Amino acid sequence: MSPSLHTTDIRPTQFFITSINVDLLETSRRQVEYVELRVGSRTLAVRHVPIPSKSLSETFIPGIEVSDDEQCLVSVHCCHRVIGIIGINKKTVVDLSFAPQDIALSPNAISGKRTLRLAEGKLQVVVSASETLYRPETGKLIPFSDSILRTCPRFRLLIMGKDGVGKSSLIGRAFKIRSLRFYEACQRQDGIDTELIFQENDKVVLHNSRNPVPGTSNNVEAFLARRRSMPDLKDRVHAVWLCLAIPRANEPLFDEDTKKFIERRRQILGDIPLVIVFTKLDLVVGGIEYEAFGNGEDPEAWYLEERLRNELEKSCIQPLQRLAGTDIPNVAISVQEGYESTIEQLLEVTAGKVDKYVANEAAMAALMAQRASISLKLSNSISAGKKRHWRGLASGSKFLGYTLKDCLDVIHTEIVSCWNFEDPNRYLVSDQFKTLMLNVVANTDTRDFPDSDVEDVGFGLAVASAIIGIRGTAVRVVLPITANIMLVGWAHDLYQYSGTASSQCIAYIVDLTAIMQILFLLMPQGHMTIPTIKLAITAYSMAGINEVHSRIRDHYENPHNVLALGGRDHTLEMIVQLIKETSIKSEELASLRAGLGDLGKLQRDDPRYGWDDGDD
Ligand SMILES: Nc1nc2c(ncn2[C@@H]2O[C@H](COP(=O)(O)OP(=O)(O)OP(=O)(O)O)[C@@H](O)[C@H]2O)c(=O)[nH]1
Ligand SMILES: [Mg+2]
């Protein structure tokens, strides 16, 4: 081959490595533990096998870009038992290097795909590469929340109960829907088939029935039969809440129609979970207190609680069990202040049953739709993250070929959609907010925020006192934080499997989740505004960021942890641990909010205060 021809053959070309396959011959004593791929100065993939084995294969979608001047190295980390010495594993590393020219010279397979074989002793490595980059779908990483929402875009709930029992109030509380009465008025004319979808929260679709009236033409039974026969999960009814007022003064719990419905529930509902909701619990509590204090007693809390338990047992639970046994879940609730935990319990029980009897996607849709419980939001956000992209952080393979910004974008979308805030202007998915988040993660704001002592007081209190401090001194709540794109150039580099990228992703997840919780605290009602977002970010910068970031830094600066890179469970454990430490608990929410005073102003979107405004 003449030199000139040779040069033509290996003209500078770009390749994308699409897979690596490692095989050890059966006669080898060694096993593969993990493989590292280095391209130029980038360490790109560390793939661990759960149990050392003779082979390992890893696919990269999209491929890993290699330019013509980058030297590549595959390091295969092996182990083998040293014969005679029980329990000692000897480790060896086999390095196999290659240049892009080797790929160019390798046999050209079908449609621009090439394979390069490398071997040493009983070890063989096959590197597959492509001349074109394959990116899935539109070239974006697909958020897990998208796939849930495609299968089950809304939680479909049928709510039943007599007039005035408290259905609308409950829906308003659980899903933060204000316009309910208007929709119901429309629905009254159309009946149970009308899908009630609300502008403020479109993750729930409601069917409303005043009473179970079996036997009539447009009744619950026929409606449920129609819906049960629908093939798609999104069209089926995912749960039924049957609301019953807690009886007062020896009233019966059920009327005849309700009794019949409960007795025939298995035929009517099939697997659809039914939850009995005993409403207006506060009235019963009020009655017990009135009676006790009226008798001149000064009862202690435990005594009142016991009276309440007995009362509920006698008037609700026993009659229900006599009719239907013990297998129908039931929750007593009130929509009044101070009873938030009862709505949380109802949502938790419902989601649990939907997960068990309907589908996990429907349960996740229910938890996305609900806006009453911060704890359920948090746990749902963690479990959604665990299922998908947080895992990618550890093995790195899912993110290779994308920029760090692409990876953070998909994580951002997943977390924000789990929290399902009312955000008609889409501030929470705007580029400005994302840039602010990158600034938070990079911790580039050099102004000295006073530090509060999270360890002593807990995250919730630290956040609340930060908010009080900020609002006390500021003329208005627009804060001098601006989205500085210059500072976040790092995010546009290609994702690499490294401690830095991993720690930035972890920080992003923990920071954003903390900010979502602060927004939950700040938004008892109304829709998202820019001042609210800025206030949440600043409060977090004062209350939690230093602790979180220094913990992550310490973790990655510890050489022991760096060696363990790729241990996916370590990454997940660390994220979950940090999120737990920066969490606001359901039970403290009401008192924290009470301390914050009037939040009304925050909820008004003032066009004068945009993303780039500084303070007065
Ligand atoms: N004290 C108390 N009052 C409640 C509670 N829930 C609802 N109410 C009141 O009960 C009345 C009826 O509540 P709604 O939520 O409209 O009841 P509904 O079942 O939707 O009634 P219809 O739409 O007419 O079938 C309203 O005055 C509510 O304020 C509760 O938990 N405690
Ligand atoms: Mg109503």
Q: What is the CATH number of the domain that holds 64?
A: 2.60.40
In terms of domains, do 182 and 315 share one? yes
Classify residue 396: in a domain, yes or no.
Answer: yes
Q: Are residues 57 and 105 in the same domain?
A: yes
Closest-CA residue to 401 (of 497, 490, 507): 497
Kindly give the residue spans of alpha helices, DSSP state H, lying in 474-600: 499-522, 530-543, 545-557, 559-563, 568-581, 586-596
Range of the domain at 584: 381-603
Q: How many domains does the chain have?
A: 3
197-223 per-position pLDDT tens digit: 887 888 999 988 876 655 554 478 889
Which pLDDT belongs to residue 41?
A: 64
Atom 6, ligand 1: residue with shortest CA distance: 166
The amino acid present at 480, given as its one-letter code, is P
pLDDT at 179: 74
pLDDT tens string 375-423? 999 999 888 887 766 665 655 555 666 777 778 888 898 899 999 999 8
Window from 234-238, 456-460, 562-566 with minimum mean pLDDT: 562-566
Q: How far is the CA of 511 from the centre of ligand 2 (A)?
A: 39
Rounded to an integer, the average pLDDT of 262-272 is 93
Measured from CB, residues less than 6 Å from any atom of ligand 1 are 161, 163-169, 184, 210, 279-280, 282-283, 334-336
User: Ligand 1 centre and the CA of 162: distance in Å?
Assistant: 10
- Are 77 and 150 contained in the same domain? no
> How many other CB atoms are found less than 10 A from the CB of residue 600?
10
Q: Could you tell me the CA-to-CA distances from 259 to 211, 320, 393 in Å, in that order?
A: 11, 9, 53
Angle at 400 between CA 433 and CA 76, to 5 degrees: 145
d(CA 369, CA 364): 8
Contact 157, 239 (CB under 8 A): yes
For ligand 1, the distance from its centroid to the CA atom of residue 169, given in whole angstroms, is 6
| Residue 614 falls inside a structural domain | no
- 357 with 431, same domain: the answer is no
In a domain, 114, yes or no: yes
Residues 6+ apart with CB under 8 A from 171: 159, 177, 180, 206
Of the residues 130, 158, 179, the one at which a domain ends: 130
Position in ligand 1 atom list of the atom nearest CA 180:
20
- Mean pLDDT over residues 148-164, rounded? 87
Amino acid at 422: E
- Give a yes or no: residue 218 inside a domain: yes
In this structure, the answer to whether residues 106 and 211 fall within a common structural domain is: no
Which band of pLDDT confidence, cut at 50, 70 and 90, is reported for residue 5?
very low
Q: Which residue type is seen at 219?
A: N
Q: Answer with the one of 309, 343, 372 that is the final residue of a domain.
A: 372
Of the candidates 197, 277, 266, the residue with the CA atom closest to the CA atom of residue 228 = 266
Residue 365: which of 57, 601, 145 has the closest Cα? 145
* β-strand pairing of 123-130 with 113-120: antiparallel
Q: How far apart are CA 424 and CA 100, in angstroms?
A: 49
- The pLDDT score that the predictor gives to residue 561 is 60
